[in-house]
Amino acid sequence: MTPILSVKNLTAGYGGASVIENIGLDFAKNEIAVIIGPNGAGKSTLLKTIFALTETSNGSVEFNGQDITGLQTSLLVPLGISAVPQSHNVFPTLTVEENLDIGTYAAPPVNMMAARDKVLTLFPDLADKMNQPAGELSGGQRQMVAMGRALMSDPSLLLLDEPTAGLSPVYLEKIFDLLIDIQKSGVTIIMVEQNAKQALRIADQGHVLVNGQLFKSNAGNALLADDEVRRLFLGGVAA
Amino acid sequence: MSDVVFFINLYLIPGLTIGAIYALGAVGISMIFGILRFAHFAHGDLMTIGGYGVLTAVWFIPLHPLLLLPVGIALAICAALAVDRFFYQPLRQLPTIYTVISSFGVALIFRSLAQLFWSSGNQVFIPGVRPPLVLFDTFRISTLHAQVIILTVLIALALHLFLSRSQMGRSMRAVSDEPELAAIAGLDTAKVVRWTWIIGASLAATAGVFAGMDTSMHPNLGWNLLLPMFAAAILGGIGKPMGAIVGGLIIGLAEELVTYPWIGTEPFISPSYKSAIAFLFMVGLLIFRPQGLFKGRLL
């Protein structure tokens, strides 16, 4: 089956310096793929490069067979790719409703009400906060707004940069459960995650980056059971 | 004339009028800072260009200047989009100080062009003395002042609806909040920038015509109003257009009201010092509340 996203020999970074080197990865349709690795491994840079927010010096990114390398960030949403950055992921002075609606502006024509209903079904906690500025919400609620905004455009691919960063354990579990629901609705998810063990449990595929290079790829469960991965990246304990 | 009527006729209404002019100019300054992240020092001169556009139209078309406002607005929009394309856009990736200095250069160019095309002297829109409006046989309000206040209220209302209800208005607020997230969300930031100039220049031209009609047109008209307009933008909170309107009205009213004889019969502060009020506001705000009244961006 044609992968939804292919990264081929990708080298990219900032200000002329490479952070990731020669990375090649295929992501299958409707899977949850998790990218893990130590700090500074280039996980977020890989995600940002897919979203054209870094300088690509070599390689290519293909979405459904179409070369999107370096395509202007704002042109990716109409293609069906949405992203949620780790921080600064909501418009703080805009209300929750406005944040969500903005997700539809660049998308192919979508029924705003239907899209909003779909998002509120996933995130019912937001229903009574629609008129509140997003900047006044808690970290977990903001993450829901950010993911809701990204889903409003009815994407086929969702990129998430550390969706559980800084969240309480309650929200952490909630977000992982939601990711499974989002996947079930037909969305492919690629995410970078620090909570590696929990993320790999729900992942179809896991990819380990070390020093900007691909160290290992395997099914999520297989990586959890992998002695080397456990020892180096999962605190050395059995999952 | 009772004290209250004296206060309203000679201080409150003129204060609201000059405040409305500051407000309209400050909206553009605030929006440009919020979205393009630089202090636009040529904004006052954009007002001048708009004012002269209408003045020229009045020479050829025998209509009231306010009816010819679209001519001045069109001229100011063209000027703003042209300087953005040729002076500011090439500097966008550099530290903003380059664009700020460039805007000083653009201000000089605008002023010099105004002197070249319209001379350096004072020119009036409508010669002669205009009778005031007399309300309830008591209040004597300049017709222009009434027009300025009413039009500014309508513009503020329209701006509020535009920013809160329209797709472009919300996109502008989003870019002002988080420019990178706006791009990630797929918003067309180039279009947002164009609309920022269109709205900023339109309101600047309107303010320029109001100011020119209240006194007279001269090449330094807008430049002289720049300081209070910046004070108004900071007072309202940078990147908060509706805050800038409130800021403008407060600065305008403060400038007029400090000259009222609050104690005795002499002005509380001599009118020749009233322009220092805006300066005091700005210095005080930058020290004690740099985010302004409505929690805008820090300078």
Nearest CB to B174; choose among A76, A102, A153: A102
Residues of chain A with Cβ-Cβ distance to B241 below 8 Å are none
Q: Do B189 and A88 touch (CB under 8 A)?
A: no
Among A74, A76, A88, select the one facing B178 at the smallest CB separation: A88
Per-residue three-class SS string for chain B = CCHHHHHHHHHHHHHHHHHHHHHHHHHHHHHHHHHHCCCCCCHHHHHHHHHHHHHHHHHHCCCCHHHHHHHHHHHHHHHHHHHHHHHHHHHCCCCHHHHHHHHHHHHHHHHHHHHHHHCCCCECCCCCCCCCEEECCCEEECHHHHHHHHHHHHHHHHHHHHHHHCHHHHHHHHHHHCHHHHHHCCCCHHHHHHHHHHHHHHHHHHHHHHHHHHCCECCCHHHHHHHHHHHHHHHHCECCHHHHHHHHHHHHHHHHHCCCCCCCCCCCCCHHHCHHHHHHHHHHHHHHCCCCCCCCECC
Q: Report CB contact under 8 Å: A93, B187.
A: no
* Nearest CA-CA distance, residue B161 and chain A, Å: 14
A99 in a structural domain:
yes
Burial grade of B290 (CB within 10 A; 0-12, 13-18, 19 or more) = middle
Residue A238 lies in a domain: no
A59, A69 Cβ separation under 8 angstroms: yes
The Cα A59–Cα B235 span in angstroms is 50
Residue B241: phi and psi, rounded to 5, are: -55, -40
- Angstrom distance (rounded) from CA B44 to CA B197: 14
Does residue A19 lie within any of the structural domains? yes
Query: Do A102 and B184 lie within an 8 Å CB cutoff?
Result: no
C-alpha angle A108/A114/A115, rounded to 5°? 55
CB of A85 within 8 Å of a chain B CB? The answer is: yes
Q: Which residues on A lie below 8 Å from B291 (Cβ)?
A: none
The length of chain B in residues reads 299
Q: Which residues of B touch A102 (CB under 8 A)?
A: 170-171, 174, 185, 187
B87: burial class by Cβ within 10 Å (0-12, 13-18, 19+)? middle
- With CB atoms and an 8 Å threshold, state whether A91 touches B184: no
Residue B113 is encoded by which pair of tokens?
């062009």
Judge whether A63 and A190 are in contact, CB under 8 Å.
no
Residue of A nearest to B176 (CA): A91
Cβ within 8 Å of residue B289, ≥6 positions away: none
Give which of B8, B72, B292, B57 is closest to B201, Cα–Cα.
Answer: B72
Burial of B299 (0-12, 13-18, 19+ CB in 10 A): middle
Could you tell me which residues come within 8 angstroms of residue B183 by beta carbon, excluding any fewer than 6 positions away? A73, A74, B189
Minimal CA–CA distance to B175: which of B165, B186, B161? B186
The predicted pLDDT at position B296 comes to: 64
CB-closest option in A76, A78, A94 to B173: A94
Mutate to test the interface with A, among B30, B172, B184 (most CBs of A within 10 A): B184
Residues paired with residue A67 on neighbouring β-strands, in sequence order: A62
**Does A102 reach chain B within 8 Å, measured CB to CB?**
yes
pLDDT at A8: 93
Cβ-based contacts under 8 A for chains A and B: 64
pLDDT of residue A238: 47
Instruction: State which amino acid sits at residue A104.
Output: T
A75, A92, A149 member nearest B185 (Cβ): A149
Is there a contact between A85 and B167 if contact means CB atoms under 8 Å apart? no
Polymer length in residues for chain A: 239
Q: What is the pLDDT of residue A99?
A: 96
In chain A, residues with a C-beta closer than 8 Å to the C-beta of B167 are 105
Helix B167-177, helix A96-105: angle, nearest 10: 110
Counted domains in chain A: 1
For residue B223, the model assigns a pLDDT of: 95
- pLDDT beneath 70: ranges in chain B: 1, 295-299
Handedness of CA B260, B261, B267, B273 (dihedral sign): negative
Q: Does A145 touch chain B (CB under 8 A)?
A: no
Query: How far apart (Å, rounded) are the C-alpha atoms in residues A220 and A235?
Result: 16
Give me the residue from A75, A92, A106 closest to B185, CB to CB. A106
**Residue in A with minimal Cα distance to B297:** A93
Q: Distance between alpha carbon B85 and the CA centroid of its chain, in Å?
A: 22
Nearest to B49 by CA among B21, B80, B8, B14: B80
DSSP secondary structure letter of residue A74: G
Look at the alpha carbons of B283, B285, B290, B292 in this order and tell me if their dihedral is positive or negative: negative
A224 domain residue, yes or no: yes
pLDDT reported for residue B271: 79
Cβ–Cβ of A102/B178 closer than 8 Å? no
Q: Is residue A14 part of a domain?
A: yes
CB within 8 Å of B291: residues ≥ 6 apart: B237, B238, B297, B298
Q: What is the CATH number of the domain that holds A210?
A: 3.40.50.300
Dihedral of CA atoms A148, A150, A155, A159 in degrees, nearest 10, equals -120
- The pLDDT tens digits along chain A (239 residues) read 689 999 999 999 988 888 999 999 999 999 999 999 888 889 999 999 998 888 888 999 999 999 999 888 888 999 999 999 998 999 999 999 999 999 999 887 778 888 899 899 988 989 999 999 999 998 889 999 999 999 999 999 999 999 888 788 887 888 898 899 999 999 999 999 988 888 999 999 999 999 999 998 999 889 888 888 888 777 765 44
- Determine contact: A71 vs chain B, CB below 8 A: no
**Would you say residue A71 lies in a domain?**
yes
- In-domain check, residue A116: yes
Do residue A94 and residue B184 have CB atoms under 8 angstroms apart? no
List the one residue out of B1, B6, B91 whose CA is nearest residue B40. B91
CB atoms within 10 A of CB B111: 21
Q: Which residue is it, tokens 């800038």?
A: B244
- Please report residues of B whose CB lies closer than 8 A to that of A79: none
| Angle, CA of B74, B163 and A51, to the nearest 5° | 100
Domain that holds residue A154: 5-233
The CA-atom distances, in angstroms, between A54 and each of A15, B42, B212 are: 9, 34, 49
Q: Which residues pair with A133 in a beta bridge?
A: A95
Structure tokens at A170: 């309650």
- The answer as to whether A239 is a domain residue is no
Cα gap A185→A157, rounded to integer Å: 11
The structure's pTM equals 0.88
CA gap A215, A201 in Å, rounded: 19
Interface test with A, best of B165, B181, B294 (most A CBs within 10 A): B181
